[in-house]
Structure 1
Amino acid sequence: MNKPLSFNLKRPHHFFALGFGLGLAPKAPGTFGTLAALPFILLTMGQPLWLQISLAIVISLAGFWICGKTARDVGVHDHPAIVWDEVAGFYITMVGAAISWQSLLVGFLLFRFFDIAKPGPIRLLDRKLHGGLGIMADDLLAGIFSLICLQALFKTGVLGG
């Protein structure tokens, strides 16, 4: 008999793993959970790049434990409601970006594309790694791919900034 799912938002690691509760959305929890990165993005826009990179590292390193522990608690590896990996990936996407509604939208769409499509090495990480590292790694790489694409759009002038 499988262990029943029992998320508890009063447990700090569940609260964060579930993207402040957004991962509990009945449809598209990963998409809704990605939005939980917005407070971090908005609070650090205009801050020095070193601070944004530092926060990306902290969010990511914490995510290895947060996601792994929550997955163990509920007995399901990478349950769809666990969305801290999306928070980290979208935050990485937006590091160093000139923030506007257009850049947020394009960054969001790029990240969701790479997270869902899982091209090449992203798919490999998703299949080969387990635990908190496995939950996080593919989204971190999707965030890096999205960051590169977003910065290229800025560099070529497609996006202002």
Structure 2
Amino acid sequence: MNRKSILRSIIPIALVALAAPAFADDVTDNLQITGQVMPGCELQITPLSNLEIHSLALSHTAASPTGIGARCNTGTAYDISPGDGLNYGLNPDYPNHRALAGPGFYLAYTLHKDAVGGEAWGPGADQISGVGNGDWQFMPYSVVFLGANKANNGFYSDDIQVTLTY
């Protein structure tokens, strides 16, 4: 066999070897997933509405059936505080109290941190504190109406802004 014929027989083999696929080892890397659970809370308030206030009593207590609820994720500290209401101090007999506005009269009341009119719940810095566990946590509250015997018959109302801070 001459040199040309050897080359002619080797060249097709070389071309096939070059065209054959090359196999590589597997290459891996990690997909990292990270996240941070942020503090979060919800506020739920059961209003006291359509109450029948006993007008001949010097004071009358009404309690919310479920109270004020906070649902915060586990470990989140929170505070719940009430505002003054729309009519604070407008009853001249009770100048340092919240009041319901009604027909020509302001019916004074106090807000309490329990269902029986015990510990008063003042405005501003006075707060209920807790730590979330992921479930709803309800705190009772009540209202004690003062001097209802001096109030005119009719419908009375007030709105208090309640703030949950976490």
Q: Same fold (TM over 0.5)?
A: no
- Normalised by the length of structure 2, the TM-score is 0.29
Structure with bigger helix share is 1
- Normalised by the length of structure 1, the TM-score is 0.29
